[in-house]
């Protein structure tokens, strides 16, 4: 899949990182949070959906306290108890910066803002804008939505298939993690003007 530069988002996140020791990039699954974080050349990265990284952070202080530079922690909502430790680590000195990625759940926002007040900034990442993909992809953006795997799929059929699976995953897995009851996706396909398409434009 083609990678699309997102200079507006890179600049906005860079400004926040220049002023806060912890910056959170929040947004729906597959909107490009991890790809955006890679633009900053992190010195250390942890993905909490990777069992190996999750095991490394079971003793979070031992894993993090001696690291230096930019540290990315992806899927941070899987370990909300880490926020007090991050406060301690960034208060200890300027050798560390954190870029944390996750879904904007109510509990995550509350826990992080209460624990890291004055130390954390939030950036909400959505789908592609027209300025990201260019006018040649206006049709794709309009019909497929702005989530990268859907917008950049090789065919309309591939995009439609991806969206159907995405919706099913969102209803069954992500909504419960965000504190909402799961709802089974309806059977059958989803047209290009489905709710997920409109929401992601």
Q: For 106-135, write each residue's pLDDT tens digit.
A: 777 788 888 999 999 999 999 899 888 889
**Residue of 12, 29, 28 lying closest to 20 (CA atoms):** 12
**21 class by beta-carbon count within 10 Å (0-12 exposed, 13-18 middle, 19+ buried):** buried
Residue ranges per structural domain of the chain: 7-124, 131-200
How far, in Å, CA of 3 to CA of 1, rounded? 6
Give the predicted TM-score (pTM) of the model: 0.78
How far, in Å, CA of 109 to CA of 103, rounded? 9
Q: What is the DSSP string of 138-157?
A: HHHHHHH-SSHHHHT-SSHH
CATH architecture of 7-124: 3-Layer(aba) Sandwich (3.40)
- Neighbour order of strands in the sheet with 44-47: 44-47, 69-74, 96-102, 22-26, 120-124
pLDDT class for 29, splitting at 50, 70, 90? confident
pLDDT at 22: 96
Would you mind telling me the total number of residues written for the chain in this entry?
Answer: 201
pLDDT at 59 over 90: yes
**Residue of 126, 129, 141, 77 lying closest to 106 (CA atoms):** 77
At 112, is the secondary structure helix, strand, or coil?
helix
Q: For 150-159, write each residue's pLDDT tens digit.
A: 888 999 999 9
Q: For 44-54, write each residue's pLDDT tens digit.
A: 999 999 999 99
């Amino acid at each position: 899949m083609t990678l699309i530069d997102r200079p507006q988002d890179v600049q906005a996140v860079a400004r926040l990182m220049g002023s806060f020791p912890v910056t959170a990039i929040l947004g729906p699954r597959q909107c490009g949070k991890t790809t955006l974080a890679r633009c900053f050349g992190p010195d250390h990265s942890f993905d909490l959906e990777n069992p190996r990284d999750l095991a490394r952070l079971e003793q979070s202080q031992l894993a993090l306290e001696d690291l230096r530079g930019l540290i990315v922690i992806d899927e941070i909502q899987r370990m909300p108890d880490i926020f007090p430790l991050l406060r301690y680590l960034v208060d200890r000195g300027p050798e560390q910066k954190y870029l944390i990625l996750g879904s904007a759940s109510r509990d995550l926002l509350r826990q992080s803002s209460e624990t890291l007040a004055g130390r954390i900034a939030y950036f909400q990442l959505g789908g592609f804008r027209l300025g990201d993909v260019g006018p040649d992809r206006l049709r794709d953006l309009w019909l497929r939505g702005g989530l990268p795997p859907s917008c950049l799929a090789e065919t309309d059929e591939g995009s439609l298939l991806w969206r159907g699976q995405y919706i099913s995953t969102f209803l069954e897995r992500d909504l419960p993690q965000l504190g909402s009851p799961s709802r089974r996706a309806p059977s059958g396909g989803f047209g290009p003007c489905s709710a997920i398409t409109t929401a992601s434009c």
